[in-house]
Structure 1
Amino acid sequence: MRTDAEVMNKVIWRIVPLIFVLFIANSIDRVNVSFAALQMNTELGFSPRIYGFGVGMFFVSYLLFQIPVALFAKRVGVRLCLGLMSIAWGLSATGMALVHSPTEFYVLRFILGLTEAGFAPVTLYFYSIWIPARYRARVTSKNTIAIAVSIVIGAPLSGWLMTSTHTLGGLSGWRWMFIAEGCVPVLLGLFTLYYLPNSPREAKWLSADEKSRLVAQLESESAPGASAAERVSSLPRTVGSVRVWACAGAWFALTMGVYGVIFWLPQAIKHLSNFGDFTVAIFAAIPWFVAGIAMWLNARHSDRRAERLWHVVLPTVIGALGLAGSVSVAAGAMGYAMLLLGLIGLGAAQAVFWAIPMDFMKGAAAAGGFAFINLCGNLAGLVGPNVIGWIRQSTGSFSNVAYFLAVVLLLGALLLAVAMLPRRAGMAAQSR
Structure 2
Amino acid sequence: MMKKTLVTTSLILFSPFCFALDLVEAYELAKRNDPNWQANLYQYESEQQNLGVAKANLLPTVTVGGSVTRRHQELDDSNTWNRVLNTLDLMPTTTTTKQAAISVRQPLFRLEAWQGYKQVKTSLELSEVTLKLQRQKHLLNVSEAYFNVLRQQALTATNLQEEKALYEQLRAMNARQKEGLVSRSDVGEANAQYQNARANRIATGVQLVLAQEQLAQLIGTYQDKLAVLRDDFQYQKPVPASLNEWANLAETHNLEVLQGKLQLKVAEDQRRIEQAARYPTIDAVGSYGYTAQSPNSLISNDGQFNQIGVEMNWNVFTSGRTKANIQKAKLNVKKTDSQLSAIIRKATTDVKKSYMQVETDQSTLQARKTAMDSSALVSSASQAQYNEGLKSMVDVLLAQRNAFSAKQQYVNTQYDYILNVLRLKAAIGQLNEQELAQMNAWLTYK
Q: Could you say which structure has the higher strand fraction?
A: 2
Q: Could you say which structure has the higher helix fraction?
A: 1
Larger Cα Rg: Structure 1 or Structure 2? Answer: 2
* TM-score > 0.5, shorter chain as reference: no
